[in-house]
Amino acid sequence: MCGIVGYIGTQTASGILLEGLQKLEYRGYDSAGIAAIWEGEIHRVRAKGKLQNLQEKLANWQIPAPIGIGHTRWATHGKPEEHNAHPHTDVSGRIAVVQNGIIENYRELREELKAKGYVFHSETDTEVIPNLIADELQKLKAIDSKVSLLDATRQAVNQLEGAFALAVISADYPDELIAVRQQAPLSIGFGQGEFFCASDTPAMVAHTRTVLTLENGELARLTPTGVDVYNFAGDRLRKYPKTLNWNPILVEKQGFKHFMLKEIYEQPGVVRACLEAYLDSDWTVESTTSPIRLGLADSFYENLEQVQIVACGTSWHAGLVGKHLLEQLADIPTQVHYASEFRYAPTPLMPHTLTIGVTQSGETADTLSALDMEKRRRSEMGSKFAPKLLGITNRLDSTIGHLVDYLIDTHAGIEIGVAATKTFIAQLVAFYCLALDLAYRRKTIPLDRLDQIVTELRQLPAQIESILEVQERYVEQLAHEFVETQDFIFIGRGINFPIALEGALKLKEISYIHAEGYPAGEMKHGPIALLDAKVPVVAIAMPGLVFEKVLSNAQEAKARDARLIGVTPMDDQEAREVFDDLLPVPEVEELLSPLLTVIPLQFLAYHIAARRGLDVDQPRNLAKSVTVE
Ligand code: F6R
């Protein structure tokens, strides 16, 4: 996590850096800082807490430096205090560094540097880097007085272990900014006589859309006249920037109180865009091709016997829905793993396996590491075990885009609210499309059933719109009643069990209320002991295979005095009688219902958190892009 930015050009850097940091604040908001070079010195300002605090400190900062770096922090090593805030400088204050990532061998490096007389002022892993660069500069100068900041930085990064992205400046090299990437994202932006670097492109799109994404093991020297890219061995590389197809408006709130609310409202459009991209509008049961056009090469479909999904958090919940669909529609055995667990306890290798990584940021370190491990261990085996990796993401330009062989774009666009909403629903749509495509090709469901599902899928955007229209006011009012509640239980079964998990995760991450999701049938095996009048139970009860079962499980909760909230169709008399409060959704085929049932749960979490006066878009301790393992 953490966001880094850098600028070199002719304008005053501080304003541009602050603007960039605002767009990166979703990556971490424990502290922030900038450093710039002016009149032969490094000037640095840092502040604990949100970027706002740094902005206030900078209000009277009148240094027109045309080069600088900035950072917004998600604390890993060292508490979120000002002395741990980036940029960090070397002992002489001539070199400043911002870092995103973790330097795993920082303790050894720090001890070695301390023995040489370097003094440390923070508890961070990052502070070793400017000192290491200073040390390398000194060593190189002893051999050749014309040593460059690039060479010294290169020598230093070759000693670092871990995943990191860096931006480095030095008062002795006022026309150079060095950007480094090793397993943490970093892009370079090309303007007219000015250049940028940033952890993510929104930090630069106001100035340029010409962007080069650095690869792992690369470093770039930015000067006012251009950019050179090198590998860690020092070879100069030929690299070509790309033009981003981006609208900066997308990263504004557009009148909504929070990004999360705006993103909840974007969901019908996202589902529509994804369906338009992947459903063949001319398809009929007489057609001889699949109704789904994912644009995947033929090799993707060859020798596919099983699927394993790796993901984290909300994306893992999307993976659970994906498993249900792949197994029930396409008859493919599917396992879903927490990426952070899979990496250190991988399943035995099975032949002809598709590995799917699901991630909205495309940068989650656990997910990327799990995919990378799978790629490596399978590459060493025979062709039966050859790696086949598919990424499901809305960020094609991210690291997952470079790592996998096949990609499905979820068409959700960038999401700013830390709690995932529109990216989740888009991941679900991607899984529906994938499962239906495979079902067609493997002939696992009759064509008229396939046709029926595709037809109903097309109606979903309008149905989501109807939920948004009808429910917001009502959920807002209902939310008032739960402002003091301390525990919530969410229950669901079958394909809606992952939605119960997602409802609980949304609530806990933004409202800080303890919440658990359970398969409804499991309640009686222990968790029911938690229930009393103070613990509301939200039950997802959609007509279908498990409808009656969920209603019975809800009754069991009611018998223990729990207040029952039902996510269920409006006109179901039976459900109306069971629940104390209804969050109604249109009646829809059970298989498709997760695309509707998740919406009221997002609203509920949002309104409870907003009512509690919490920072919905930037909940405590979290970050949007989790780039540390
Ligand atoms: C919850 C949330 C997180 C992410 C998780 C994985 O609202 O957003 O649980 O789902 O950190 O992130 P991605 O999808 O970027 O891999």
Which CATH number characterizes residue 149's domain?
3.60.20.10
Q: Which atom of ligand 1 is nearest to the CA of 361?
A: 15
Q: What pLDDT, on the 0 to 100 scale, is given for residue 248?
A: 60
167 and 269, same structural domain?
A: no
Domain-located, residue 95? yes
Residue 509, ligand 1, Cβ within 6 A: yes
Same domain membership, residue 509 and residue 419: no
In a domain, 455, yes or no: no
Q: Is residue 360 part of a domain?
A: yes
pLDDT confidence tier of residue 250, bands split at 50, 70 and 90: low
Domain boundary (389, 418, 445) is at 445
Atom of ligand 1 nearest to the CA of 419: 7
236 and 266 together in one domain = no
Whether residue 433 is found in the same domain as residue 315: yes
Rounded CA separation 523/489 (Å): 10
106 and 198: one domain?
yes
Q: Is the domain of 261 the same as that of 238?
A: no
Q: Tell me, yes or no, whether 456 lies in a domain.
A: no
Same domain for 437 and 530, yes or no, is no
519, β-bridge pairs: 492
Residue 490 near residue 601, CB atoms below 8 Å? yes
pLDDT in tens, 482-496: 999 999 999 999 999
Cα of 26 vs centre of ligand 1, distance in Å, is 12
Q: Are residues 212 and 340 in the same domain?
A: no
Cβ neighbours, 10 Å, residue 484? 8
Q: What is the pLDDT of residues 253-297, one digit of tens each?
A: 888 999 999 999 999 999 999 999 999 999 999 999 999 999 999
Q: What is the predicted pLDDT for the residue at 247?
A: 65
What per-residue confidence (pLDDT) applies to 627?
74
Residues 393 and 528 in one domain: no
Cβ atoms of residues 3 and 199 within 8 Å:
yes
Q: Containing domain of residue 333, as a range?
A: 256-445
Residue 453 domain-assigned (yes or no): no
Of the three residues 445, 473, 502, the one that is the final residue of a domain is 445
CA distance 21 to 23: 5
CATH of the domain at 577: 3.40.50.10490
Kindly report the CA angle at 321 between 389 and 575, in degrees rounded to 5? 175
Q: How much is the average pLDDT of 141-149? A: 87
Dihedrals phi, psi of 459, to nearest 5 degrees? -85, -10
Contact 346, 377 (CB under 8 A): yes
| Tokens linked to 222 | 């930015």
Which of 282-286, 317-321, 477-481, 574-578 ranks highest by mean pLDDT? 317-321
Report if residue 381 sits inside a domain: yes
Read off the pLDDT of residues 544-581 as tens digits, 9 standing for 90 and up.
999 999 999 999 998 899 999 999 997 778 888 889 99
pLDDT at 41: 97
List the structure tokens of 422: 């529109």
For a mutational test of ligand 1's pocket, the pick from 26, 601, 626, i.e. the residue with the most ligand atoms closer than 8 A to its C-beta, is: 626
Q: What tens digit of pLDDT does each residue of 423-445 get?
A: 999 999 999 999 999 999 999 99
b/e code 422-447 from CB counts within 10 Å (16+ = b): bbbbbbbbbbbbbbbbbbbeeeebee
Per-residue pLDDT tens for 439-469? 999 999 999 999 999 999 999 999 999 999 9
C-alpha of residue 356 to centroid of ligand 1, in Å = 15
- From CA 553, how far away is CA 550, in angstroms rounded? 5
Number of domains in the chain: 3
Are 518 and 608 part of one and the same domain? yes
Q: Three-state SS for 166?
A: strand
Burial 403-416 (b: 16+ CB within 10 A, else e): bbbbbbbbbbbbbb
User: Looking at the DSSP assignment, which residues form a beta bridge with residue 491?
Assistant: 518, 539
- For residues 208 and 294, membership in a common domain is answered with no
Q: Which H or E run includes 41?
A: strand 41-48
Mean of the per-residue pLDDT values for the chain? 94
Q: Is residue 494 part of a domain?
A: yes
Strand, coil or helix: what is 244? coil
Confidence of residue 513 (pLDDT cuts 50, 70, 90): very high
Whether the CB-CB separation of 388 and 405 falls below 8 Å is answered with yes
Q: What's the pLDDT band for 402 if we cut at 50, 70, 90?
A: confident
Rounded to two decimals, the pTM is: 0.85
